[in-house]
Each structure stands twice: as structure tokens, then as C-alpha cells.
Structure 1
Amino acid sequence: MANPLSQQISDLLGAPVSALSPLHGGDLSKIYRVTLASGQDVVAKSGPLVGVEAQMLAAIAATGCPAPRVLATTATLIIMEYLPEGPPDWAGLGRALKRLHSATGAGYSWSSDYAFGSVAIPNTAAPDWPTFWAERRLLAAPHALPHDIAQRVEHLSQRLPDLLPHHPPAALLHGDLWAGNIHFTPTGPALIDPASYHGHTEVDLAMLHLFATPGPGFYETYGPTTPEERERRPIYQLWPALVHLRLFGAAYRSMVENLLCDAGS
């Protein structure tokens, strides 16, 4: 009997599947490399919000920033082109991210909400950027945080109008731009696994520095960093740290506490 996933992929693409193998990176979803009978490789990813992800990938690609081409979707499955691995190209990433951030929206929002696993990501529009960052990110679910952490986050959120720009350009963001979501190919970098919305460009830059730092050439092509950006960075890094705390537990508590201290809370 055919594997149900293989059969579903075959039905969507109109081509038989000859091999199916898991790919790394599936902490919150299952990802497979699929080889068709023709020899072509594609990627299949399952999850409850893959239709939203397909829209995000299309929006990213429309800016000229490379992203995998979506071949087919269902309510729970997205099939994308397979991109082979290549050497790191940080200067290429700087150029790509600059193109992405040059695309702006009408406000701070996305057309639908999203989620990292069990962590909801509300994307309803807010009248200004500090309000969006406080209400849609840091304080989106204070009940899900340890009480002392929630109190410190609330204190910081009350200060955001004095710490963040009120109306920066509403740039198209990747939304989860750590190194694992940058796929270097032989022709340059491509962005994968987005959690996109429109917001302050520094959100993506802060995430890029959370677990590592961009390689040589990135800022030469993206544009230089500023002291003000570096001062705001812990405020933006706090959101993914809170997500990790909620998803993966106490191992990330010290990261959250350190960022709160760095942010002055």
C-alpha cells in the first residue's frame, strides 16, 4: 500500500513519488525531501497554517528577495521547489534582505494571524509601532508566562513609547530570521519558514543576532548598523526568547531575564 503522504503529493503534482526522506529543521512541523519518478526533487511540509506560509513566501518572492517557489498547497500541506545547498553568501543575504525591507505595507499587521506551534502570533493592525510590539507580541499572552517574567514584560511594555519609534516604515519582514531559516544555495541565499508581517526592519536584524551574528559582507550590502539600533535590539530579541521559553521551557529563562535586564526592565 502506498504511503498516504506520498499518494497525496502524487495526486497534487500529477507525478509518482519514488522516495520520501525527512529533512532537518522540523521542530514545529514535519518536512520531507521528495523525489519524483522523473528524478525531480521537491520539498513537502505539513502543518495547520501552511496556506498562510505559502502567502508569505509569495509576498517575499514578489519583492525580488529569493524564496522557494510554492508548487501546491492544501489545508495541511505545502509543496515547494527543492533548493540545493551552497556556500554561505552573507553579502548576498544583505542585498536580499534590503530588497525585502524596501517593500512596505499600509500599517503594522498581516492579513491573518499565525503561530509558532502552540504560540499564537496575533497580527491585527495597531495604530502605532510601540502599541503593536506591546500588544501583539510581548504581551500577547501574559498568562502563558511565569508571573514574575510577565510583570517585568508588562513594565517594559509600558515604556515602549519612549524606547521605540512610533511610525517607522511598515517594512515587509521575514519575522523569524535566524540562521536556520536562511538557506544558502549555489546561486545565493533564499529565505525559508517565514512568519511575515509588516513592521520595523530592526525586528529581522535583531533576530539575526539572537543566536549568532551575520557573516562578513552582510552590513556592507544591507547598510550600516547604528547605535540606536543596537540599543533597541534586546527589546526585539525578547519576543523570540519568550516564544522559546513557552515552547521549550525553563532552559530559556536565563535568556529572557538577560534580555529584560539589557532592555532596562
Structure 2
Amino acid sequence: MTGALAEVGLDPGALRGGGVRRVTLPDGRAAVVKRDPSVPAEAAGLRWLAVPGGPPVPEVYAADEEWLISQEVPAGSPTAAAAEDLGRRLAVLHEAGAPAFGAPPPGGPADAWIGATGMRNEPAESWPEWYAEHRVLAYVRRADLPDTAVFDEVCARLPELAGPAEPPARLHGDLWSGNVLWSADGAWLIDPAAHGGHRETDLAMLALFGLPHLDRVVAAYDEAAAIAEGWRSRVPLHQLFPLLVHTVLFGGGYASQAMAAAHAALRA
């Protein structure tokens, strides 16, 4: 045996195929094994997000170009106290910063993943220009949209729509509710698409598909690290990225949602 599986004593013959599965390692640790092209980026992201005082993330037990073996998160239920703790810890994570907007985690590939589609981590100094090129137009070009003019207008006006300038934050990058696991010891973050970005993007993504006690999360975050004035009006702008990704992956109603978000961003 070689590589990540050998490092933790797993037999590749018993792990044929791809996907995700739960296993018990020979030393008794409960683990999750994932085989997917995205695992190098995910492993680098998990290591980068493991910030002291930040939200807990699964420990990477071993990883290579094909396999990721990480800590299994014990199951629990969402509580208001855990939500408030998540808000405070998310502020710590964001404040840990990044070298630039679009910067990948150390050792992570520039051509990374969000869900089952590609995501380019190309460092830049200016958030509006970077977000327009690499998080909006990159997916507009690939999506099945009835009209793209509204997205062009948003991108042209991004410097005025973006709000006060902020330094690059250390983002989870795919922070929808399914990537928040509630455990007995609080909320854990899994499956990152980590990169340097604008902290409001993570917060907007939490709101996109709903999260238990989201109001508590946001209030605790704002108390720990005040969110810039007018941030609520900018939520549709930051939701453009995940909505366009979903349009590329799934089509259907996500195209109309993305266009509605673009129009809302212009009205902000």
C-alpha cells in the first residue's frame, strides 16, 4: 500500500470506487474516507481553516491526490448557544485573513472545486474586479441563462456596490447549511472551497438555503466583528456566486434566482 490509505492502515481493496464513506481506522478512530478529484483542494482548505478559536473543522488524518481521510464529526442538534458560538468563531476565522482575494490555501491548487464544478483561485488586490471576473462572469459564461446583460451591469458597477473596502478574509467558501454540522460540542464546518475573499460572502451563503438560529449566528458575529453598514442590502450581491454555481450544476430555477439576485444587487 502507498499514499494516504497506507498512512492510516486502510486496505484499498476494501474501498473500491469513489464517493464518501464512514470507516473505523485500525487504531479505533472514526473517520470519513473520500475519493474524488477535489480532495487535494479540500485537504488544504481544512488545514487552513483550522484556526485557533475558529469553528472546529475535521482533522485531516491523511491525504494525497486521490484520497482524503478525515475525522468524523459526532452527530448533535442545533441550539441557540451553539449558533452564537459559531458566529463568534466565524469572526475569528475571517479575521485570520488571507494573502490576497482569490488566494488558495497554502499548498492548495489554483484550479480548485466548489461542489462538483471548478473554481479558479487567482490572487488579486481588488475585491470588486476579482469577484466580477472569477466569481460572477466565470460562471455566467458557463451557465444556461436567458439574458446576461444584468450580470454585465452588476460587474461594471461592482466598485460602487461593494461597500466599504475590507482586507481579504479567510473564507470557508461554500458555507451553505449542509456544510455546517451540529455536534454536541458545537457547530463544525466541513467540505470547504476555501480561499481569500470578502467575509460577507460566507455570511450571505449561510442565509441562502436557511440555517437554524441564523439570526443568533449573525448577531454574535456582528458583536465580535462589526459588519459594515448596509451589509443586508449587499446580501444578493454576494449570493450571486453560489446561485450561478448552482445554475451551472443544476440549471432549472436557479437561473431565475441568479437573475433576481442580480437585479436586487443593482437596487441596493
How far apart, CA to CA, are the structure 1 residues paired with 2:160 and 2:111?
Answer: 27
How far apart, CA to CA, are the structure 2 residues paired with 1:117 and 1:210?
Answer: 16
Q: Which has the higher contact order (CA 8 A, sep 6+)?
A: 2
Q: Which moved more, 1:236-245 or 1:111-120?
A: 111-120
Tell whether the 8 Å contact from 1:63 to 1:103 is kept in structure 2 after alignment.
no
Candidates 48, 56, 68, aligned match of 2:58: 68
**1:155-234 aligned within 5 A:** 155-165=153-163, 167-213=165-211, 215=213, 217-223=216-222, 228-234=230-236
Cα drift, residue 261 of structure 1: 2.1
Q: TM-score under structure 2 normalisation? A: 0.84
Candidates 66, 70, 85, aligned match of 1:80: 70
**1:12-31 aligned within 5 A:** 12-14=7-9, 30-31=19-20
Tell whether the 8 Å contact from 1:113 to 1:120 is kept in structure 2 after alignment.
yes
Report the number of matched residues.
Answer: 254
How far apart, CA to CA, are the structure 1 residues paired with 2:6 and 2:192?
Answer: 26
Tell whether the 8 Å contact from 2:180 to 2:190 is kept in structure 1 after alignment.
yes
Indicate the residue corresponding to 1:109 in structure 2: 102
Q: Which moved more, 1:196-205 or 1:112-121?
A: 112-121
* Percent of aligned pairs sharing the same letter: 36
Q: TM-score under structure 1 normalisation? A: 0.85
Say if 2:229 is the partner of 1:259.
no
Tell whether the 8 Å contact from 1:56 to 1:195 is kept in structure 2 after alignment.
yes
Gaps of 5+ in 2: 105-109
Cα drift, residue 127 of structure 1: 2.6
Indicate the residue corresponding to 1:54 in structure 2: 43
How far apart, CA to CA, are the structure 1 residues paired with 2:202 and 2:163?
Answer: 16
What whole-Å deviation, never above 9, does each CA across 1:165-224 have from its counterpart, x for those lacking one? 463121101111111001111111111001111121100000011011450532342115
Aligned letter for 2:250? F
How far apart, CA to CA, are the structure 1 residues paired with 2:98 and 2:72?
Answer: 29
How far apart, CA to CA, are the structure 1 residues paired with 2:250 and 2:259?
Answer: 15
Aligned letter for 1:189? A
| SS class of match (2:74) | coil
Q: Which moved more, 1:215-224 or 1:136-145?
A: 215-224
